[in-house]
């Protein structure tokens, strides 16, 4: 099968997963907000399908979920999440694809940098959106919403995503590999 077609099909699967996973935690909003169920398929999409599809799925997911199910609320939460998740897909997928090794360590480096970058983007977008409504978005609100309340979800992501990628590597569906560093340009 053509790899582009395969990646598009997988991206659609990750988008569908992102639409469904919040139903498992959404019955108790406080738990859903802490476990961050939409983040998991975005990271997996970025690592498996590449950063362009990871960023696209990340941006579309919260907006499509709002259109279909009314959650997360569009303004400011859903729109800020769209930029945050797109950042995860873009940053995480880009760093992982450009790492010399495709391994668990590369996953962790890419995920942690993407998590920090995505939360910075989320805070910037929240600041802009809330300031247009006359509401300040404080540093404490950013730390609380982006980090403290998200600790369970961050831990879950740091455990599940590498575990899933290792399992997929063992089945041969995803390959951990070392780039060939002996090839010179022009050969």
Q: Tell me the pLDDT of the chain averaged across its residues.
A: 89
For the stretch 97-156, pLDDT in tens is: 999 888 899 999 999 999 999 999 999 999 999 888 888 888 888 888 888 888 999 999
CATH number of 35-171: 1.10.1760.20
The answer to whether 60 and 41 are in contact (CB under 8 A) is no
Question: 0.75 cut: is pTM over it?
Answer: yes
How far apart (Å, rounded) are the C-alpha atoms in residues 166 and 104?
8
Domain boundaries, the chain: 35-171
Highest mean pLDDT (candidates 26-40, 67-81, 170-184): 67-81
* Alpha-carbon torsion (125, 129, 134, 140), positive or negative: negative
Cβ atoms within 10 Å, residue 149 = 14
**Tens-digit pLDDT profile for residues 56-75:** 999 999 999 999 999 898 99
């Amino acid at each position: 099968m053509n790899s582009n077609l395969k990646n598009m099909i997988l991206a659609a699967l990750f988008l569908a997963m992102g639409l469904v996973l919040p139903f498992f935690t959404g019955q108790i909003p406080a738990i859903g907000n802490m476990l961050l169920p939409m983040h998991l398929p975005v990271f997996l999409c970025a690592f498996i399908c590449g950063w362009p599809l990871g960023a696209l799925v990340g941006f579309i997911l919260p907006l499509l979920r709002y259109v279909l199910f009314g959650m997360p609320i569009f303004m400011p939460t859903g729109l800020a999440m769209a930029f945050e998740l797109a950042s995860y897909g873009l940053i995480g997928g880009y760093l992982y694809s450009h790492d010399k090794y495709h391994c668990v360590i590369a996953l962790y480096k890419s995920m942690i940098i993407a998590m920090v970058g995505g939360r910075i983007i989320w805070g910037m977008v929240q600041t802009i959106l809330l300031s247009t409504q006359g509401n300040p978005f404080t540093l404490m609100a950013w730390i609380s919403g982006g980090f403290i309340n998200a600790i369970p979800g961050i831990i879950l992501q740091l455990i599940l995503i590498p575990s899933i990628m290792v399992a997929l590597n063992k089945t041969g569906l995803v390959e951990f590999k070392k780039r060939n560093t002996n090839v010179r340009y022009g050969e």
